[in-house]
Structure 1
Amino acid sequence: MKKYKIKEHERRKKEIYRIATQTLWQKGYDKTTIRDIAKATDMTTAGLYYYFKSKEELLFQILDSHMDDMLAGIEKIAATQAPPLDLIKRYIQYQVDNYCKDKFRSKLILNDDDCLTGEWYEQIKQKQRSFLVFWRHALDEFCRDQGLPADHIAVDAHCLVGMCNWIYRWYDPKGDLKPEALGEKIFNTFVFGLTRKGQAPFS
């Protein structure tokens, strides 16, 4: 019976966070109230506070779980020890696919992470920096393999991740351009820009 209650608690918690994430995505963190979330989840405000102590804690837990998932995914790709160019391509596709599957949390991490304060803010920023390290390493190895300048790899990494992140402002996965094609297009555009040639190097 105890195990059942624990499972039911976790199931309910996941459902609350799923609905809360969508509500925050629709209205924005600043404009969303606890009453809005209570109404969307068909709960009382007192009932919600059983799962989190404040709206900021709710946002932190949503973003923290998102970054944990993102790090786990990119670590799995990196563990394949594929050539750097292949890693870059797979990182890009991973980022695009993640947006298509998880657009609510993807938008929140971009728009509302600065709403966090103190240790919560620092924890999210540290995980974002850790995520970027994978991109930097792959780009650095690629540039060195190709004899390309590697003086501003951090800038290159931010530019590439930015290209992937901000597709949420305009991209419709249900449109003519499928996620695989978008990932390929971002990859080709970025690599052509690095090499300044008419085709991507695959050496």
Structure 2
Amino acid sequence: MSGNQGSKEKLIQVAVELFANRGFAGTSIRDIASAMGMSISNIYHYFGNKEGLLLAILEYASDALLRRLREGSEKEEEPVRKLKSLVQTHLKLSREFLRESKIFFLDEDHLSQEGHRINCKIQREILDMYVQVLSDLAQEGLVQTRSIKILAFNILGVINWHLKWFRTEGELSHEQAVEEILDFILHGALGLGQRER
């Protein structure tokens, strides 16, 4: 890894930490430069402005998220197992990229038109993964819905909402919470009846 690439990745990590703790609006380029021990001009050189840095964080997190979601979806062929794998992978990655996820839930309004375009493209790719696996389930008669896309949005809503309510000090571990969420999605979406353990 080149020195420039290493500096850019370190800048992204520091910015993620500061944005997650202080919010996008509450963090200045000066704050980031100070935390990095570098000049403000270096940050402008790499990212153009603060919104450019926010976009870099989005792309950094989404590249890993999309790649690993595809891997999670493709490692199973049977549709129910494929959906389980996709949801489990998504929930795990949502925790792994918790700070980045919170930044974009809270700071989406700060994105430029280009930022919204990139963000929408990423969201569409994730939605398409769920629509595909749910369509496969519908072909086997396992999905009861008038709209596959709305069902996919509902599942994504459950997954994204857990970022708001899950606490590590709560009554369930994250692994147990994932199982509860998965049970809910499978029962609600597929009508499987009794829980499968």
Q: Which of 16, 25, 37 is 1:21 aligned to?
A: 16
Residues 9-54 of structure 1, C-alpha deviations (whole Å, 9 max, x = no match): 2222211110101111112112222122222222221232222110
Q: Does residue 141 of the first structure (1) align with residue 136 of the second (2)?
A: yes
C-alpha distance 93-197 of structure 1, shift in aligned 2 (>3 A): closer
Aligned partners of 2:145 and 2:151 also within 8 Å:
no
In the other structure, the counterpart of 1:160 is 155
Letter in 1 for 2:112: T
- The amino acid of 2:69's aligned partner reads I
Question: Partner amino acid for 2:7?
Answer: R
Structure 2: gaps of 5 or more residues: none
Quote the Cα distance in structure 1 between the aligned partners of 2:33 and 2:45. 12
Question: Could you tell me which residue of structure 2 aligns to residue 3 of structure 1?
Answer: none
SS of 1:51's equivalent in the other structure is helix
User: 108-117 or 67-76, which moves further after superposition?
Assistant: 108-117
Could you list the runs of 5+ residues in structure 1 that have no partner in the other structure? Answer: 1-5
Whole-Å Cα distance in 2 between the matches of residues 92 and 184 of structure 1?
A: 10
RMSD after superposition: 2.2
Q: Aligned ranges for residues 1-203 of structure 1 at < 5 Å? A: 7-173=2-168, 175-196=170-191, 198-199=193-194
- 1:121 Cα deviation after fit: 1.8
Q: CA deviation at 1:175?
A: 4.5
CA distance in 2, matches of 1:112, 1:184: 30
CA contact (8 A) 1:144 1:150 kept: no
Cα gap change, 1:195 to 1:89, in 2 (>3 Å): closer
Return the TM-score normalized by structure 2.
Answer: 0.88
- Greater relative contact order: 1 or 2 (C-alpha under 8 angstroms, separation 6 or more)? 1
1:163 CA displacement = 1.1
Report the count of equivalent residues: 197
